[in-house]
Chain A
Amino acid sequence: MKKVEELLDALGKIDPVYIEEAEKTRFVRRRKYWIPAAACVALLVLGGTYGFLQLDGGKMQESDTAMESAAALPDSPVKEESAEYAVAAEQSKGEVLWNVNEVENLQTTVACGAAPARTEYYTAEELETYYGIRILPGTLPDGFEPEEAEQGYAVSYGDDGAVMDDNCNLVYQNGENGGRLEISARTVDMGEITSFADTGLRTSEIYGTEVTVGHYRTKENGSSKADGYLAIYEKDGVNVTVEGTGIDEETFRAVLEDLLL
């Protein structure tokens, strides 16, 4: 057998510890954004909105004010605070413990920073590799289809090559009932971020990951109310938000368990 083949075969038998290490290691950049006073608009809080927002065909209306402010922001100097390798903690993948909170309001913040030096566009699969955790459901709920991102999913980088904004949304639509499933992920707090306005919420434990899950009722077309679910968690340095409307609780849970298995 040739030497290259021998080496390839021998590499296949290296200590499994190194194989696992290579699978779980991610380079996590922790960044601090310094924003000049003149540009302190960087954080816009659109407080207490979701519970009262009108849904139109299951799609949330965006705030024009927020988008205009975001577009108008000047450059901001960025400083990298630290960078370190993080090995995903060995999780004790225990039983699933659900705590679904009834919530009244959700809130959206929009954080904006300096203009990026360059922007890369990734496919959904490349994006999953980029984050290093599962963000693509293995099985979609019945009737849901992915909404294609025309240019791909954008990740912006600064002059120093560091990530500035990697807040990306994967959207799945149900054409029959107007349902919508949105999976958002980010490693830096930039872009539009949805969170719970309520405090003191109980958390769920899904295969070793702590997840805050909320159920809310929202108006649909000004008349009947629809169910909405929001789940927020952090895994291996990636903040993930999963939001579903036109979807029942059991199905929403199945999506989360699928992502976190």
Chain B
Amino acid sequence: MEDEKIIDLYWDRDQTAITETEQKYGRYCGRIAQNILHDAEDSKECINDTWLRAWNSMPKERPAILSAFLGAITRNLSLDCYRRKHSAKRGGGVMPCIYDELHGCVGGEEPSCHVEQGELVAALNRFLAGMDKENRVIFVRRYWYMDDIHAIALQLKVSESKVKSSLFRTRKKLRVYLEQEELL
């Protein structure tokens, strides 16, 4: 079913919206949750919560890109779940690596000095807009979808070393950019 029609079902408060969403985006959202949580049960729970959150968000919102809208809900729910479960230690899967990589990018454990999230998001969007497409796709796959290096290399049909070097260079540039913007 087309995204527009699925959104219409939400707006009409027709519960088949959830069935259609699950059929079309269940695997997409499931992959994001599994990347973050590395646990089938927790992932399933986050996916079910995603459909509920989408149901409660519409018709207040009408997403322009349904996949990104649903994926963002799953990502947020999964990250919250991950933080609850791994407040003491990082657990398995790709997340410990991602934390380490971003720690190297933005520095220490200390909180930032009164940076509004909106400012940071706007700066990230400007940074992404200035990147070439190849590096941007690799960066978003890693830090939005939380894909592992192997999966990114497979999807883009490039070597794993190319993915790693691209991410390394991008993190370095991002750090410089955020410092210039006085967001670090």
List A residues at the B interface (Cβ < 8 Å).
Answer: 1-23, 25-29, 85, 93-94, 122, 126, 129-130, 132, 138, 161, 163, 261
Contact = CB atoms under 8 A, between A and B. Distances in A.
A4 B1 CA distance: 38
A132 B155 contact: yes
B156 A7 contact: no
Contacts of B52: none
A91 to B, nearest CB: 10
B136 A12 contact: no
A129 to B, nearest CB: 5
Interface in B76-102: 76, 79, 83, 98-99, 102
Nearest to A95: B2
B169 interface: no
A130 B121 contact: no
B120 A27 contact: no
B140 interface: yes
B156 A27 contact: yes
Given A19-B144, A22-B145, A13 B117 contact: yes
A6 B120 contact: yes
Contacts of A130: 154-155, 157
Interface of B: 1-3, 23-24, 26-28, 63-65, 67-69, 71-72, 75-76, 79, 83, 98-99, 102-103, 105-112, 115, 117, 120-121, 124-125, 128, 133-134, 136-137, 140-141, 143-145, 151, 154-159, 184
B111 to A, nearest CB: 6
Contacts of A4: 99, 102-103, 106
B44 to A, nearest CB: 16
Given A11-B124, A85-B133, A26 B155 contact: yes
B128 A15 contact: yes
A25 B112 contact: no
A9 B128 contact: no
Contacts of A138: 23, 26-27
Contacts, number: 127
B157 A26 contact: yes
A129 B155 contact: yes
B98 to A, nearest CB: 8
B120 A10 contact: yes
Given A25-B156, A27-B156, A19 B120 contact: no
Contacts of B64: 16
A14 B140 contact: yes
Given A7-B106, A17-B65, 14 more contacts: A2-B111, A5-B83, A8-B102, A11-B143, A13-B72, A14-B140, A18-B140, A18-B144, A19-B65, A22-B140, A23-B145, A26-B156, A93-B3, A129-B155
Contacts of A261: 1, 23-24
B46 to A, nearest CB: 14
B140 A3 contact: no
Contacts of B106: 3-4, 6-7
B144 A6 contact: no
Contacts of B1: 261
Contacts of A17: 65
Contact of A27 (B79, B117, B158): B158
A3 B184 contact: yes
Contacts of A10: 117, 120-121, 124
B115 A6 contact: yes
A20 B76 contact: no
A163 B2 contact: no
